[in-house]
Structure 1
């Protein structure tokens, strides 16, 4: 069995992932009670946790709103807005959180969402989309598409710009951002300026070499991926096929016309190669794309920048990308 000590990571990263490995893994998803407990947890916004996650900037106001999805369900949205901008109309970036379409919560992403809002001077809309196994695919994708349509409408309020939206997310959230961009390109009606996909899950066939190479990787293993997809897709006759673009955006037949896309991958991640493949496919389709693979870091590293050597650089790259496309000419 591969151990944490055998991975080429800085000591502080090894120490963190060793601690996380005691409470994470496919066993978290064996019962409804275990899933609920895992979903509810988030790192408190205080020392020593903020040494790892980064602080929540005090210059950001966090609040909540909601919108009505296509089936009438009220979907909550956690919002982040720089203080003292009440009279401004800010560019909007939607964030879709990670967790394998099964776990995760919006509050756990306060450090990164608030940081992007503060540094890029945008309104971040963190969507609390419905999770599996209670809600199978494509429910999460539908909620996220509906969130983008809501953000592009007057219903989302007067304080955000309803055009030039950004779509962003990590892991399963990166999958959803890519899916939403493809759906909106096909259906029209929403002006999307850019995507930012952070170690995204893009190929549910799990056939890329890095899935086998890093099957026992820290943070995310092949067993975790199998469990997530089993919950998300189910086994009913009407379940979406793993190659359906609503599940695997890498397998879309046509990628032309998508917005400029940033893809960030982690070198010690089973998802690494599908991110790289998507970047190449976008490039071949004529889409502006920038791909950065960060060495010596596992899946999820953007959420614990204090325990890595490159987490801060990845966050800076993300903010620069958002600023460049949400506020052209104001990078820095």
Structure 2
């Protein structure tokens, strides 16, 4: 049984239902993204999505890859020296929308609280750039950051990945590839309500098809837009839950929301990792919706989750070997 949603969360969900275009009804995806950006940059939006922590220094860098250049936001803790551990963070948005800015509240809070540098790269979005564009962008961005760690002031021996929703999918894929492709070695993975199965609807989605923020219809539309002509492939690069082996993966912290159709995605991924002997911390946050960690102004549990992530990263990534 899910806990009741806080009044602020319910009010926000009702407002979004009135103002936001559902992805399954959208035809202009550039406008869909612009709509989201306008909301984030509005005075009410800044209250909802939170402001970056002032204890960090934020800069923007370019990540030049073959045939394209990605943008990344770097959150550096102040008052610390030497090469710093790093968390590479992939934003959510259903592979169709979103940007590094939308996770600035969490990323900056993590940097300030743990002493790690948080690097949030962009990646190409669907449907203009369908699967596997986002997979390749995030994987190559991770490799670029690891290869240039010294120049970026980072410790290549203390790296982790993090992502929420679609970004959790991409972080899980990157963690799997770090093992199957021989690096970059990762100390940990933080998966926030990750979408690890592209097609199957688990019990939570059947039980909660019309929850606020993300519905079953939304998720189906995102999957079709992201996969494009590859829709139906069982490749674990699309659905990391379908991997044939989870052996040797880095320790994971999986966070889920109790009013989220994707709740069981996190549950099943936890079980798959545990069967392989991977250390897993798991927490389901009561009274929360999909996306709650990015909504500190309307979801009181966001601060609690951010503190949990800080503690996990401090214990698994920041500490020297």
Instruction: Give the TM interval when normalised to the shorter protein.
Output: over 0.9
Residue 129 (1) aligns with residue 120 (2): no
Residue 232 (1) aligns with residue 226 (2): yes
Pairing partner for 1:164 from 158, 169, 174: 158
Stretches of structure 1 that go unaligned for 5 or more consecutive residues are 1-5
SS in 1 for 2:213: coil
**How many Å apart are 1:214 and its aligned residue?**
1.4
**How many Å apart are 1:240 and its aligned residue?**
5.4
Residue 38 (1) aligns with residue 7 (2): no
Cα RMSD between the aligned structures? 2.1
Stretches of structure 2 that go unaligned for 5 or more consecutive residues are none
SS in 1 for 2:19: coil
Q: Deviations over 1:271-322 (max 9, x none)?
A: 0001101001100011001111111211011111232242221111111111
- The answer on whether the counterparts of 2:102 and 2:294 sit within 8 Å (CA) in structure 1 is no
CA distance 1:64–1:28, shift in 2 (3 Å): farther
Bigger mean CA offset, 204-213 vs 118-127: 204-213
**Aligned residues between the structures:** 318
**How many Å apart are 1:268 and its aligned residue?**
0.6
Which residue matches 1:325? 316
Residue 259 (1) aligns with residue 250 (2): yes
Q: Distance in 1 between matches of 2:276 and 2:247?
A: 5
Bigger mean CA offset, 262-271 vs 102-111: 102-111
Q: Deviations over 1:133-176 (max 9, x none)?
A: 11111110111111111121126724111122110010000000
**How many Å apart are 1:9 and its aligned residue?**
1.0
- The answer on whether the counterparts of 1:304 and 1:311 sit within 8 Å (CA) in structure 2 is yes
Which residue matches 1:312? 303
**How many Å apart are 1:215 and its aligned residue?**
1.0
TM-score by length of 2: 0.93
Which residue matches 2:235? 244
Which residue matches 2:78? 83
- The answer on whether the counterparts of 2:212 and 2:289 sit within 8 Å (CA) in structure 1 is yes
- The answer on whether the counterparts of 1:171 and 1:201 sit within 8 Å (CA) in structure 2 is yes
Q: Deviations over 1:240-296 (max 9, x none)?
A: 534210111011010111000000000110100011010011000110011111112
Q: Deviations over 1:194-246 (max 9, x none)?
A: 00000000101132111111111100011111111111111x3xx15342101
